[in-house]
Amino acid sequence: MGEIRHLINITDLSVEELEHLMETADDIIAHPEAYHDICAHKKLATLFFEPSTRTRLSFTAAMMELGGNVLGFDQAQSSSSAKGETVADTIIMAGCYADIIAMRHPKEGAPVVGAAKSRVPIINAGDGGHFHPTQTLTDLMTIHRKKGEIGNFTVGLCGDLKYGRTVHSLIEALLRYEGVKYVLIAPEELQLPGYIRDKLDDAGAEYREVTSLDDAIPELDILYMTRIQQERFPSWEEYEKLKDSFILTRKMLDPAKDDMIIMHPLPRVNEIDVDVDDDPRACYFYQALMGKYIRMALILYLLGIK
C-alpha cells in the first residue's frame, strides 16, 4: 500500500491535496450514488477520549454513506484507558480491527503519539487546544462552496482566539492562500497566542486586533464566530467573566455586506442569537453538512481509494 498517511495538522496536506479533497467532495455532492459502496467491507474506528457529538456523528455518517462500517467509543470512561492503557496501545489494538482511525483526545499531541505506532491511517479529530484539522477542512469547503475561491477576502475571527483550536488551524490553512486579511476580534484575555501571531507576521499577513465586533462587521466577507470554551479555562471564575463577551444579534448585521457569510464550528452556546439563523448569511448548519462530505473525501484519500 505504500507509506501510511496520517492527518494530524492541516499543514500535513499540501494546497494541491486540499484542492483535490474539495474537488472530490464536490463530486460526492453532485453524484452521491457513485460513492454508496466504495468503502464496502472497510471499517472506521472512532476513538473519542473526549465527548463530541458533532465530529463523531459526522465521521460516522461519512463512513456509512461510503458503505463502510464504524466501531469505537465516545468517552474515555468506556475505553480501556480507564484501566490505565496507554494511547499508543489503544491505537495499536484498534488498528487490528479497523482500516482507519479518527481520534479525539483532550491532551495536546496525543494523536502524534498514536500515529508513531499505528498500522493504519489516523485522523486527528481534535487534540485539546491544539489542532482540529477536519474542522478546518470543513471551513475551507464551506468557503469554497459559498465564495467560489479561497483567498482575496477579509475574515473576522471572533471570540476565544486563545484556546480555540479551530481558529488556530484555520489561520494556518489560510496563510497559504493569497489576499486574505484578518480581523482578530477578542477580549484582551482571549487574544491570539503569540506563536500564531508570529506565523501571521512571518507570512507578512495583513491583520489587526480589535475588541469590538460592531466596529469590525462592515468590512468582513466572512465572520467566523467561536464559543467561549469553559472546558479550556483554568478557572470557573475566569470563564464566567468572559463567557458573554460577544453575542451576535440580527440587528448587528444591518451594516454587514449582503454576501458576508457567518460561520461557526458549533456547538454554539449563546454567542449567536437564534434570530440570526433565518438570515441568508448564516452558514453554520450548512457548514456542518459540508463537514460530512469533506470527511468522506478524506477517508477515501487516506485509504488510497480512487
The reported pLDDT for the residue numbered 241 is: 56
243 in catalytic set = no
Q: Which DSSP state fits 257? A: -
Q: Do residues 159 and 225 touch, judged by C-beta distance below 8 A? A: yes
Read off the pTM.
Answer: 0.91
| Catalytic residue (choose from 42, 105, 132, 295) | 132
The reported pLDDT for the residue numbered 239 is: 55
Counting beta carbons within 10 angstroms of the beta carbon of residue 60, is it exposed (0 to 12), middle (13 to 18) or buried (19 or more)? buried
pLDDT averaged over the chain? 90
| Catalytic residue (choose from 55, 136, 142, 154) | 55
> Which grid coordinates are listed for 15?
494546497
| Catalytic residue (choose from 5, 11, 20, 54) | 54
132 in catalytic set = yes
How many angstroms separate the CA atoms of 84 and 159, rounded?
36
55 in catalytic set = yes
User: Of 215, 284, 288, which is closest to residue 246 (Cα–Cα)?
Assistant: 215
The reported pLDDT for the residue numbered 1 is: 46
Query: Which range (16-20, 153-157, 179-183, 246-250) has the least confidence?
Result: 246-250
pLDDT at 291 exceeding the cut of 80: yes
Query: Which range (194-198, 230-234, 287-291) has the least confidence?
Result: 230-234
User: Which residues, 6+ apart, have CB-to-CB distance to 50 below 8 Å?
Assistant: 75, 76, 104, 105, 106, 126
Domains, the chain, in order of start with CATH, read 10-131+291-302 (3.40.50.1370), 134-288 (3.40.50.1370)
> Which grid coordinates are listed for 213?
465586533
Query: Which range (33-47, 59-73, 239-253, 262-276) has the least confidence?
Result: 239-253
Report the range out of 150-154, 167-171, 246-250 with the highest average pLDDT.
Answer: 150-154
83 in catalytic set = yes
| Catalytic residue (choose from 104, 144, 168, 292) | 104
The reported pLDDT for the residue numbered 79 is: 46
How many angstroms separate the CA atoms of 252 and 291, rounded?
27
Expressed in angstroms, the distance from the first to the final Cα of the chain is: 13
> Which grid coordinates are listed for 190?
482571549
- Each residue of 56-115: pLDDT tens digit? 999 999 999 999 999 998 765 544 455 467 888 999 999 999 999 999 998 888 889 989
